[in-house]
Structure 1
Amino acid sequence: MMEAVITFVENQPEYLLWAIGIIAMLESLAVVGIVVPGVGLLASLSILAANAGTNVYAMLSVAIIGAIVGDGLSFLFGRLFQDRLSQIWPFTRHPEWISTGHNFFERHGGKSIFIGRFIGPVRPFIPMVAGMLRMDGKHFLTLNVASAICWAPAYLLPGYLFGQYVSITELLSWKGLLALTMATMIAFVATWWWKR
């Protein structure tokens, strides 16, 4: 089954690149970014990209573009609705999403656009709050582009490099699944410890 997927991707690499770009965009969108398991999907797709011999620069480029577009749309959404955001679903049910993003933005100022890109729980809301607070568009765009350029390699290269040494079929064996489970548990504990 996986051999067929890899063969398909090798022959049609644009589909994989589109998927990476779209997921990078969705992960950066306000609200949607909480629902979409972007980190796991991007890691899996980057491993698949390496197995299929996809050009690493093309992969990083589409991820960067997707991330820039996602944050840009969130910024425009915040700019468009501003003070009315709290009256729009799902913010009527989860007002803490706005307040968390607002507090983070107040604490770090414009740097929050860059820093927030790497912090999962606030990532989708920082650009929206920046738009809501009428941050200068050029300043936002500069930080948006810079953070996306740093974010894409940090999130995709580990999976890509890993995929160059381990095939998907090996990963799906019981040893591979055990190794992935252990790595996931270590990452979960490390994240929990860091947040505490």
Structure 2
Amino acid sequence: MSLNEITHTIMQFIEHHQAWALPIIFLLAFGESLAIISLLVPATAIILAAGALVGTGVISFIPVLIAASLGAIIGDFLSYWLGKHYHQQVISSWPLNKYPKMIFRAEQFFQRYGTFGVFIGRFFGPLRAVVPLIAGAMHMPTTKFNLANIASAPIWAFVLLAPGAFGVPWLETLFG
């Protein structure tokens, strides 16, 4: 099944079963934020598409924003916790041991930018879920990590949802 088909199927399900929208968005953002799972979950495309459902009035913006933010915060914190408590074992395990360059880049990124690296790392594709793992492995203080994590998650969710949420109504107004 292609990414397009997966996205379409999930969007149809949400459209017909709106009560499931928030748990699905939460779980997608959570999975997208987990170090290993994020490599397997096509959450970014689906959350972008969910923005279009917001734009058409199928689901509401604020609850979806909150669900995506909470999923991202909890997923990143779990990655951080795993890194802090199982640092070397996690990094040397499959599938992360298949991507040593990604781990190395995340370490460099974190060393260069510190707490700000956790904040900005959320917006860099494959590094997104690895940065919290590395932050934990490098024993970044939990308070500093949480500040960056909690501050960046709603912005990340907004950036993904906004094009569909605000673009669809604008296009409908423009092209009637």
Greater mean deviation of Cα atoms: 136-145 or 50-59: 50-59
Identity %: 32
Q: Which residue of 2 aligns with 1:101?
A: 106
**Which runs of 4 or more aligned residues in structure 1 lie more than 6 Å from their structure 2 counterparts after TM superposition?**
none
CA contact (8 A) 2:51 2:160 kept: no
Task: After TM superposition, list the pairs within 5 Å mapping 1:56-135 onto structure 2.
Answer: 56-135=61-140
Distance 2:92 2:14 in 1: 44
Considering only CA atoms, is the larger Rg found in Structure 1 or Structure 2? 1
The amino acid of 1:130's aligned partner reads A
Quickly say closer, same or farther: Cα 1:86–1:53, change in 2 above 3 A: closer
Name the Cα RMSD after superposition.
2.2
The reply to whether residue 152 of structure 1 matches residue 154 of structure 2 is no
Distance 1:164 1:9 in 2: 19
Q: Which residue of 2 aligns with 1:178?
A: none
Distance 2:171 2:14 in 1: 17
How many residues are treated as equivalent by the alignment?
163
Q: Which residue of 2 aligns with 1:13?
A: 18
Q: TM-score, normalised by structure 1?
A: 0.74
Quickly say closer, same or farther: Cα 1:53–1:92, change in 2 above 3 A: closer
- Tell me by how many angstroms 1:93 deviates: 2.5
For residues 82-116 of structure 1, the C-alpha deviation after alignment (integer angstroms, 9 at most, x for no partner) is 12234311233322232121111011111111010
The amino acid of 1:31's aligned partner reads I
Distance 2:91 2:71 in 1: 27
Distance 2:32 2:64 in 1: 16
- Tell me by how many angstroms 1:35 deviates: 2.7
Distance 1:75 1:54 in 2: 31
Distance 1:13 1:93 in 2: 38
The amino acid of 2:135's aligned partner reads A
